Structure 1
Amino acid sequence: MKEMIILLAEIVNMFHDLFLRLSQSFGWNLTDKELHFWIIGILGIIGLIFVDILFHALAKWSITAISFLFTLSMVLVFVLAVEIQQKITGRGAMEFNDAAISVLGFLAFCVGYFLIKMIVKWVR
């Protein structure tokens, strides 16, 4: 897990430096805060458009699908936060396998929930 976070941090730093150099080469001389404003703003709006299109399509099929994706994203953030907290406090090991098993637990319980929901729907 630690290695994965370090790798992601390196990738983010590489893009940060690239965008900073690009802004300087165009003569914009953006500060770090301005760079964050533009990059996160642009990435965020692209993400919003993608998610909006996806969720509108899913809404025609199933609200449960939207609920699942939203909850999955919350679980992923929570699992990452727990692993980081374990590293900071030294209470437990920060491992990718811990995170993977945590998400697998969520998915297993979701399968059970969906099966029960399907059975109830069939019975009705």
Structure 2
Amino acid sequence: MKELAVVITEMINQFHDAFISICGLLGIQLTDKEMHFWVIGIFGIFFFAVTHAVFTWLSKWSLTALSFIYTVTIIIVIVFAIEIQQKVTGRGNMEFLDATEGLKGFLVFFVIFLLLKMLLRLIRYFFSGGAVSKGNGNTRSRK
């Protein structure tokens, strides 16, 4: 975990130095706060556009997939926050394997959730004579 944090920090530092050099060559003087404004702003809007396009496509296919992606993102943030907190406070060891085991735990429980969801759909399918709706169980059409 410590090695990963060092690698990420080094990559960020290299980008930071390159960005400052490019701005210097162009005669642009930015404070650190202004640089963060532009870099994170541009990266954020690009990432939003890609995410929005993917989520729009996924929403037509599966709401479960959207929920999974959101949950995994939050779980990753929480797992790494816990590992960083352990390093800062000295309560536990900051290890990459701890983070991966936590994520693996979520994935195992998610697979169990999917299996139960599929089992429930199969049960509904057999007891409804083969007509299973994706909604709330109603097979009548609305006017």
**TM category, shorter:** over 0.9
How far, CA to CA, are the matches of 1:118 and 1:19 in structure 2?
A: 50
Amino acid at match of 1:4: L
Aligned to 1:4: 4
Percent identity, aligned pairs only, is 48
Aligned to 1:84: 84
How far, CA to CA, are the matches of 1:97 and 1:103 in structure 2?
A: 10
Deviation at 1:123, TM superposition (A): 1.1
Amino acid at match of 1:109: F
Between structure 1 and structure 2, the one with the greater Rg is 2
Deviation at 1:105, TM superposition (A): 0.3
Q: RMSD value over aligned CA atoms?
A: 0.6
User: Is 1:20 aligned with 2:1?
Assistant: no
Q: How many residues align?
A: 124
Amino acid at match of 1:21: S
Show structure 2 runs of 5+ residues with no match: 125-143
How far, CA to CA, are the matches of 2:42 and 2:51 in structure 1?
A: 14
Amino acid at match of 2:5: I
Aligned to 1:104: 104
Secondary structure in 2 aligned to 1:28? coil
Deviation at 1:30, TM superposition (A): 1.0
How far, CA to CA, are the matches of 2:59 and 2:95 in structure 1?
A: 36
Deviation at 1:10, TM superposition (A): 0.6
- Give the ranges of 4+ consecutive aligned residues of structure 1 lying more than 6 Å apart after TM superposition: none
Deviation at 1:114, TM superposition (A): 0.7
Q: Taking CA–CA contacts closer than 8 Å with sequence separation of 6 or more, which of the two structures ends up with the larger relative contact order?
A: 1
